[in-house]
Amino acid sequence: MVTGALQPGYDRTSKEALMTASTLSDLYRPSHDEAAKQRFVGVLKGYANQTLEQQLAEHYARDLEPQFVAEHQRAPANRSEARPLFEADPLYQLWGSMVYASQSLMWQSVGETCRRIGPAFEARAQTVTQKPRGSLQLDPSLELSSNQDAPRATAIQIKLERAIAELPEKQRFVFMLRYYEDLDYEKIASITGTTVGGAKANYHQAVKKLTTLIQEH
């Protein structure tokens, strides 16, 4: 096992690759071992968030909700009423543990790559900042906006952050990878353990919900 070394098909050295790469996808190149760990985490997250979550939904409809109905003569009115049904349920506990563990493992596996290529990122940044810079001449007739727009921009940012926090976990994670990290859907699907179509669906659902939530705030 060669830890941190890029295998055939990857760049010879991370520093050399980073100095010539043009996109974020080119910059982020896990080694063979790192990629294997990330694929494992992706499969684990996929099992927890898809297969096990579906089993849990079926278990609730088949077993847990009828128990509540038998006792209260009605279905649970909200999540607070349904939560006690899940808390002591073994399948729910397994699902919750796997979701938590897979999320933690995901950050660890991606972090290994980030820590390894971090120095090369810094070297690339220094090279870019040391390059001669051009000049910029503004059109004298151009009207620049005043700082009066700043409070409004800050308010919009606050609304966005609040709305993102209200998104379901999967949609929030996909949105942040796409919007803030500028990752393509193939990379997002690999990280989250879903399909490219699933990643696209989660992102567009997140955008739709964010639009609604921002209007409500």
Q: What is the pLDDT of residues 91-137, one digit of tens each?
A: 999 988 998 888 888 888 888 888 888 777 777 777 766 766 666 67
Q: Higher confidence at residue 207 or residue 119?
A: 207
pLDDT at 187: 86
Confidence of residue 64 (pLDDT cuts 50, 70, 90): very high
Confidence of residue 4 (pLDDT cuts 50, 70, 90): very low
Exposure string of 119-148, with b = 16+ CB inside 10 Å and e = fewer, is ebeeebeeeeeeeeeeeeeeeeeeeeeeee
pLDDT at 150: 54
pLDDT at 55: 93
To the nearest 5 percent, what fractions of the chain are helix, strand and coil? 75, 0, 25
pLDDT of 10 strictly over 70: no
* Sign (positive or negative) of CA dihedral 32, 38, 41, 43: negative
pLDDT at 13: 44
Q: Which pair of structure tokens corresponds to residue 158?
A: 């606050």
How far is it, in rounded angstroms, from Cα 211 to Cα 217? 10
pLDDT at 31: 84
pLDDT at 66: 94
Measured CA to CA in angstroms, residue 113 lies from 31, 45, 161, 175, 186 at distances of 8, 19, 28, 21, 18
Mean pLDDT of all residues in 147-172:
75
pLDDT at 63: 94
How far is it, in rounded angstroms, from Cα 179 to Cα 11? 27
Tell me whether residue 191 is exposed, middle or buried, using C-beta atoms within 10 angstroms of its C-beta: 0 to 12, 13 to 18, 19 or more: buried
Please answer whether residues 56 and 92 qualify as being in contact, where contact means their C-beta atoms are separated by less than 8 angstroms: yes
pLDDT at 104: 87
pLDDT of 148 strictly over 70: no
- The H or E element spanning position 217 is none
pLDDT at 59: 92
pLDDT of 7 strictly over 60: no
Q: Which residues contact 28 (CB under 8 A, 6 or more apart)?
A: 113, 117, 187
pLDDT at 11: 41
Q: Which pair of structure tokens corresponds to residue 143?
A: 């009207």
Q: Which of 4-13, 35-44, 63-72, 166-175 has the lowest mean pLDDT?
A: 4-13
